[in-house]
Structure 1
């Protein structure tokens, strides 16, 4: 099962300013979006998982570390529950796509960082597919 992929964006700068664009980010499946601005760089938000819901993460300001762990209960995998660590930077435009069957946790690396989150589920569908875990469930190597 594929856990994630990076949709690489690009940017253009001229006398009018800077434009970030994501021509390969297909928004057909997205039904909602929200923005997260952590109060502190010491806070870790997570673990939250979904069996079916897909999420796309875009760091629009600052930087974030996103931690990813497989929900082996859902994908019947024998793989060890190892976490992956992905860093998103606003100055390197990219969108992180995470499939269902995984839990995420994330932490801002800089003050005033902002993370946009896109989902293919409505709020009601997401709540029915929501699984939350203690931060100690998987190791977070900072």
Structure 2
């Protein structure tokens, strides 16, 4: 499976705005959390998941979601291709990163918030969470 965008939309009238992603299914979701990077360290990197799929939705500001397909969990190549998808509060889309990838979350604005829907129960996270040095892959080139 490859990363993908699940596009939603926005509806606005005199009462306000409703943002939605009707094609997203919560069927396999076990938990969620909200990410808010600090202003002095806008990149949270690199976290890999052998089993857990991540689904990111921007609820404030904007982010770049960087990801790489891991070739070797113990010693991944430093030459892996970094792919990036931008998300903003106005986009109303979910970025699905399947198991087998490592990701880095970069906030682009102060007070940006991203919700992450995860498919792995919290009881199994310690078996799946693989962290790499924050500079293992350079998101800036």
Q: Provide TM-score, normalisation by structure 1.
A: 0.90
Structure 1 segments, 4+ long, off by >3 Å, are none
**Higher relative helix content:** 1
CA–CA separation in structure 2 for the residues paired with 1:31 and 1:97: 15
Q: Is 1:50 aligned to 2:39, yes or no?
A: no
- Deviation readout 1:111-142 (Å, 9 max, x if unpaired): 11100000011112122111000022112127
Gaps of 5+ in 1: none
Counterpart secondary structure, 1:128: helix
Match of 1:123 in 2: 122
**Hey, what's the Cα distance between the residues in 2 that align with 1:41 and 1:52?**
31
Deviation at 1:43, TM superposition (A): 2.4
Q: TM-score by structure 2 length? A: 0.91
Q: Say how many residue pairs are matched.
A: 137
SS in 2 for 1:126: helix
User: Is residue 101 of structure 1 aligned with residue 120 of structure 2?
Assistant: no
State how far apart, in whole Å, the 2-side matches of 1:43 and 1:88 are: 15
Q: CA deviation at 1:14?
A: 0.6
Secondary structure of the 2:123 match is helix
What does residue range 54-133 of structure 1 map to in structure 2 within 5 Å?
54-73=53-72, 81-133=80-132
Structure 2 alignment gaps of length 5 or more = none
Residue equivalent to 1:7: 6
Give how far 1:37 is off: 1.4
After TM superposition, give the deviation of residue 56 of structure 1 in Å: 0.2
Distance 1:24 1:138 in 2: 32
CA RMSD, 1 decimal? 1.6
- Cα drift, residue 41 of structure 1: 6.1
Distance 1:123 1:141 in 2: 32
- In the other structure, the counterpart of 1:40 is 39
